[in-house]
């Protein structure tokens, strides 16, 4: 852990110096002097690797926006909202909207491509060390392309670093999403084959074989249900997800402890993004989901005052009431995920707002900072993906659903026993369980698309049934103006 922190501080500067970026897909022309001087020793390779993780951390807000905002689990906060967030959760995006683009993702891919190009020729003390670095780069590249292909569909495929300016290299046409998925699958399978063992590094802040298997499960579940992969891909997903169980993984008995700042790197975590005081800024956009001091009512009870102590947020996002209504009071995930704020004008209990309590940060010198590690892959999510894959194959998803619900409801589980029904009934139950289990973690939009329920369950899409082009995002105008070979997605 100390080694990782040291590299994240010291090598990020070096790597950012080595890797300069253009606006053309962020395919960075790296100077010949830098290449000659940097990619020579194992320490250079390790520095490049941790630079890749540091740059990936800068994508956190985009990852949340792309994976959750359009699902309308969050809505307008008491301080109003940023226009780009309104357009996302009301699904009114256009090419001119201020929203995430693929620029930063290609920068991380460029980091991975540099590692995959230069590391094979560097002398390592151990071949296992070399293979681990290569495996992590393959996993990162697969993850970035997986996020992008679900967001924009066809993509420019870049599998080599740009080492000098060449218009043909930086202005590419889009490759079909079918070929992109073929590339992603090869990357993740290559990663799994390269990891020397099944261990998970301390802190769980870098990729491991269990993390790669968890990601493979996600990828193959998606292609099984969205890209005509069928039972073959469901079987591959199930095999990969079951392999995660062989790692040093466990389901915590206390759901809230998964996200507790003082319990980082716990055994439910498979892969997380590092945050710490001094080293990084706040985990985005969770500070948007907390109340700014000026917006805290004077008439709140003492328990709420304690919860909001050190409040340092923005008051621009809150939990939508249609989401709140689906949680039961005996579900321990409710209070661990969000809190309702009531005021008492004239002594009358009155709904005021809500905050996302998951990833609620820590107090430093009396102020709240969101220095939580952002969990990207965890075991509770894996169990529900196993249930999903099993149900798709006609197998009984009860064992995994029981594990998740028993943890959630504790002594009240007898009132929430899962009873297996038809495939359709089970799918509906699994999707709802995913809402409760992974609420506000940045994945629910993907879930809705994978289950084919976005137009049914997202209020802002209810009047747009049949407009399936809305499943993809528009490509922002700034990208189109820089990339003449890239054409806009249909419908936008």
Rg (CA), the chain: 22
H or E element in which residue 214 lies:
helix 209-226
Domain ranges of the chain: 1-69+100-196+462-492, 286-372
SS3 call for 374? strand
Strands (DSSP E) along 23-181, which ranges?
74-76
- Tell me if the pTM is above 0.75: yes
What single string gives the DSSP state of each residue in 274-302?
A: ---TTT--PPTTGGGGS--GGGS-SS--H
Query: Which CATH architecture group holds 1-69+100-196+462-492?
Result: Alpha Horseshoe (1.25)
| CA 222 – CA 450 distance, rounded (Å) | 6
CA neighbor of 299 nearest in space, from 339, 332, 342: 342
**pLDDT at residue 165, as a whole number:** 55
What tokens were used for 138?
């393959």
| CA 112 – CA 51 distance, rounded (Å) | 10
| CA 63 – CA 44 distance, rounded (Å) | 28
Q: How far apart are the first and last CA of the chain?
A: 46
Q: What is the pLDDT along the chain (492 residues), one digit of tens a residue?
A: 444 544 444 444 344 333 333 333 333 344 343 565 789 999 999 999 999 999 999 999 999 999 999 999 999 999 987 777 889 989 999 999 888 999 999 999 999 999 999 999 999 999 999 999 999 999 999 999 999 999 999 999 999 998 865 544 567 899 999 999 999 999 999 999 999 999 999 999 999 999 999 999 999 999 999 999 999 999 999 999 999 999 999 999 999 999 999 999 999 999 999 999 888 889 999 999 999 999 999 999 999 999 999 998 999 999 999 999 999 999 999 999 999 999 999 999 999 999 999 999 999 999 999 999 999 999 999 999 999 999 999 999 999 999 999 999 999 999 999 999 999 999 999 999 999 999 999 999 999 999 999 999 999 999 999 999 999 999 999 999 989 999 999 999
Residues near 166 by beta carbon (within 8 Å), at least 6 away in sequence: none
**pLDDT at residue 74, as a whole number:** 94
Residues near 49 by beta carbon (within 8 Å), at least 6 away in sequence: 7, 115, 133, 136, 137, 206
* Helix residue ranges, H only, 58-126: 60-67, 83-89, 103-118
**pLDDT at residue 84, as a whole number:** 77
Residues near 160 by beta carbon (within 8 Å), at least 6 away in sequence: 113, 117
Contact 122, 45 (CB under 8 A): yes
| CA 225 – CA 40 distance, rounded (Å) | 44
């Amino acid at each position: 852990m100390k080694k990782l922190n040291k590299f994240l501080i010291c090598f990020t500067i070096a790597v950012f110096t080595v890797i300069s970026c253009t606006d053309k897909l962020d395919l960075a022309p790296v100077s010949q002097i830098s290449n000659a001087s940097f990619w020579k020793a194992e320490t250079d390779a390790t520095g490049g690797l941790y630079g890749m993780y540091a740059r990936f951390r800068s994508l956190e807000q985009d990852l949340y926006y792309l994976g959750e905002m359009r699902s309308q689990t969050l809505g307008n906060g008491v301080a109003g909202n940023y226009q780009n967030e309104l357009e996302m959760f009301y699904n009114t995006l256009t090419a001119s909207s201020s929203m995430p683009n693929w620029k930063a993702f290609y920068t991380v891919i460029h980091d991975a491509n540099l590692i995959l190009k230069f590391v094979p020729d560097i002398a390592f003390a151990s071949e296992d060390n070399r293979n681990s670095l290569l495996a992590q780069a393959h996993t990162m590249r697969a993850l970035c392309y997986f996020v992008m292909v679900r967001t924009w569909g066809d993509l420019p495929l870049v599998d080599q670093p740009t080492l000098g300016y060449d218009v043909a290299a930086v202005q590419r046409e889009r490759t079909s999403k079918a070929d992109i998925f073929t590339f992603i699958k090869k990357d993740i399978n290559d990663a799994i084959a390269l990891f020397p063992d099944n261990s998970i590094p301390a802190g769980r802040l870098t990729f491991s074989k269990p993390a790669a298997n968890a990601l493979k499960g996600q990828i193959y579940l998606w292609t099984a249900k969205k890209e005509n992969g069928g039972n073959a891909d469901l079987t591959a997903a199930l095999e990969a997800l079951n392999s995660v169980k062989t790692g040093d993984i466990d389901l915590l008995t206390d759901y809230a402890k998964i996200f507790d700042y003082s319990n980082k790197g716990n055994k439910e975590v498979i892969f997380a993004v590092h945050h710490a005081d001094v080293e990084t800024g706040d985990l985005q956009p969770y500070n948007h989901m907390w109340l700014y001091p000026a917006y805290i009512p004077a008439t709140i009870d003492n328990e709420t005052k304690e919860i909001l102590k050190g409040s340092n947020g923005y008051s621009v996002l809150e939990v939508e009431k249609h989401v709140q209504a689906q949680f039961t009071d005996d579900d321990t995930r409710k209070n661990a995920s969000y809190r309702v704020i009531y005021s008492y004008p004239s002594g009358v209990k009155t709904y005021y707002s809500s905050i996302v309590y998951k990833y609620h940060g820590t107090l430093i010198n009396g102020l709240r900072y969101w220095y939580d590690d952002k969990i990207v892959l965890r075991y509770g999510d894996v169990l529900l993906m196993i249930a999903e894959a099993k149900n798709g194959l006609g197998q009984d998803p009860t064992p995994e659903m029981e594990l998740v619900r028993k943890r959630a409801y504790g002594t009240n589980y007898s009132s929430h026993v899962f009873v297996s029904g038809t495939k359709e009934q089970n799918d509906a139950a699994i999707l709802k369980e995913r809402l409760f289990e992974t609420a506000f973690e940045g994945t629910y939009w993907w879930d809705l698309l994978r289950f084919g329920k976005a137009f049914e369950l997202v209020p802002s899409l209810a009047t747009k049934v049949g407009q399936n082009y809305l499943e993809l995002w528009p490509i922002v105008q700034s990208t189109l103006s820089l990339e003449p070979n890239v054409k806009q997605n249909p419908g936008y």
